[in-house]
Structure 1
């Protein structure tokens, strides 16, 4: 059985290492991007089954990553956005651009795993 591939775009190295470890423990293959530009490159070259992206990142924001995946690449893969800036306007914009889910930081890695399983079941 092939493992589901996830692109994780997070510029906080501590959080990205924690999430990578937790998701790999669940059996997912995790490709980490340190900024939005790298996230887009990983999505184009590795064709992941899901994208997890922080909103506030260097080069491209998480919102720009969502827009690029939906409008330029025309991909319908699940995208979960997360941010410590949980303003309603940002959440609505993420959903309007095509994000499938939104999580406010800080969040539990266990909650993320539960949300992921909804998309892969």
Structure 2
């Protein structure tokens, strides 16, 4: 199964990518929403993990564009240091399926990614 990570923090990118790779997943990493959209037009993943605050296209914009232009069924996880209730609610209204606040623990990420992968399989 394939996971797209859109995260501008290189250390978080590496941590998540390495962990998901160790789970046997194919990982595609982008640094901003604009780059993620380019990847999505050529290579639709099974799930998307995105930060909110990124250059060019924010994670919230990315969620809206994915759900309206690419696929309504791709499960999306938001990973963000912003945990304000309004931001979380906007993410869910736009179509996010999960929201994890940074910092996070890898075991929690594993459980949540597995749940989203099950959702992706069920929608396929």
What is aligned with 2:49?
52
1:91 to 2:77 alignment = no
Q: Distance in 1 between matches of 2:20 and 2:65?
A: 24
Q: Which runs of 5+ in 1 are unaligned?
A: none
Q: Which runs of 5+ in 2 are unaligned?
A: 119-124
TM-score (norm 1): 0.94
1:39 to 2:36 alignment = yes
Q: Distance in 2 between matches of 1:120 and 1:19?
A: 15
1:81 to 2:54 alignment = no
Q: Over aligned residues, Cα RMSD in angstroms? A: 0.9
What is aligned with 2:7?
10
Count of residue pairs the alignment pairs up: 118
1:17-75 superposed Cα distances (whole Å, 9 cap, x missing partner): 01100000000111000011011111121110000000000000000010000112243
Where in structure 1 do 4 or more consecutive aligned residues deviate above 3 Å? Answer: none
Asked whether the equivalents of residues 3 and 48 of structure 2 are also in contact (C-alpha less than 8 Å), the reply is yes
1:64 to 2:61 alignment = yes
Shift of residue 120 of structure 1?
A: 2.3
Of 8-17 and 36-45, more deviation after overlay is shown by 36-45
1:96-119 superposed Cα distances (whole Å, 9 cap, x missing partner): 000000000000122111111112
TM-score (norm 2): 0.91
